[in-house]
Amino acid sequence: MNNNNMKNEYNQIENKNYNKKVIYHGIEILRTFMSFGVVFLHFIEKKNLTNFLLKSIYNCANFYVPTFYIISFYFSYNMIAQRNIKKIKERFLRLLLPYFIWPIFFWFGQIIVYYKTTDININIFKTIIYQLVIGSGSYPVMWFQLDMIANTMIFIIITFAFKDYNLNIIKALHLFYYLFLQNYENLFSEYKNMRAIKYFFSSSIYCITGFYFANISLIKIINDKKDKIFLFIIPFVIILKEKTNIFNVSKRFSVIVTEIISTILFLFFSLLPFDKINNDKIILIIKYLTRYTGGIYYIHRGVVTLLHPYIKKIFVLGNFKSIICIYLLCYFICAVGRKAFKKSKLIYLFG
């Protein structure tokens, strides 16, 4: 079979299964863990890291966002590779609406809640433009979203402009980012509010990783070779248990190590045997517990900032219990929001 026939056969398979939605519960659990980890990292106080579990969640901090990138672009591959305009437009709506609306909403909300201590002479227009251009400032968590938007645009441009060579060009970018990354990040090391620019190349590396995994159908491969891959992953899990400081590596190799470990996490959760669970109730519980991860990420900082005067009267921030309460509160807000806006595009604000 020549290359053209192989490509045609591959495209037929992809087209046939494109609209068939497959839910990978292991990946959904991983996404939920990453979402909780981000909330944990933003609000935990180091003095409250009192046991192995909390220290491990904290020590995994470098892998929450990279794993999000890998998962997102893994599941965006078909949409981009098939040049599905409808799905591409939908993805941009999912990315752009939260990026534009939440920072403005929370910024004005903060002025209203803290009007007695807020400088009313502040340049509103300048502040909002600054936030929307660099993805951080008045609402810093959106740097992640800006990098997601930028990488999506780059992948789509490459795919449309270089139809036959797009994957090779993306692989070349992967190598180029590795070579250029260190010096580039050092240029912005003193600018904390420029995270989207500072971490653009490293985020691109993780996006390319997810995109390439989808190209080679990684989940199918690992499902066919579960036993062998488990033998590879188990030693890593044992090391993780014994050495919670395993991730304190040299900065020179941090991106490579982060990519490898994020990949191992992706593999491990992909291998979880949910296909053998025949209990619909258990699957339904998993389905509900793993919802709204994106929405929770978008709103968690803003919710705590706006409600802080009231939250601090109910529980003390900075410990594990308060973080669980914050996560559940954001989950509830996202559930209500999606129900309220189920017939509107604003549903994308809530993940």
pLDDT of the chain, 351 residues: tens digit per residue: 444 443 333 333 333 343 444 567 888 999 999 999 999 999 999 888 888 888 888 888 888 999 999 999 999 998 998 899 999 999 999 999 999 999 989 888 888 877 666 554 456 677 777 778 887 777 888 999 999 999 999 999 988 888 766 677 887 877 777 777 655 666 655 556 677 777 888 888 899 889 988 888 877 777 766 555 555 555 555 455 444 444 444 454 577 778 888 888 888 888 777 767 777 888 888 888 889 999 999 999 999 988 888 887 787 888 999 999 999 999 999 999 999 999 899 999 998
DSSP 21: -
Q: 156-191 b/e with 16+ CB inside 10 Å = b?
A: bebbeeeeeebbeebeebbeebeeebeeebeebeee
Backbone angles phi, psi at 70, to 5 degrees: -60, -45
Residue 77 token pair: 């591959």
Instruction: Give tens-digit pLDDT for 261-313.
Output: 888 888 888 877 776 777 788 888 888 888 999 999 999 999 998 888 888 77
Max Cα–Cα distance, the chain, nearest Å: 74
Helix (H) or strand (E) holding 284: helix 280-289
Cα gap 175→157, rounded to integer Å: 19
Per-residue pLDDT, 196: 78
Which residues lie closer than 8 Å to 1 by C-beta, 6 or more apart? 9
Residue 175 token pair: 């190598």
Per-residue pLDDT, 118: 54
> At which residue do the structure tokens 């901090």 appear?
61
Q: Give the residue extent of every domain in the chain.
A: 3-350
Per-residue pLDDT, 1: 42
Per-residue pLDDT, 22: 55
Backbone φ/ψ region at 318: left (φ over 0), alpha (ψ -120 to 50), beta: left
In terms of Cα–Cα distance, which of 245, 243, 137, 253 is closest to 195?
137
Backbone φ/ψ region at 83: left (φ over 0), alpha (ψ -120 to 50), beta: left
Cα gap 151→201, rounded to integer Å: 9
18 and 78 in contact (C-beta within 8 Å)?
yes
Residue 24 token pair: 């990978």
DSSP 294-333: HHHHHHHHHHHHHHHHHHHHHS-TTSHHHHHHHHHHHHHH
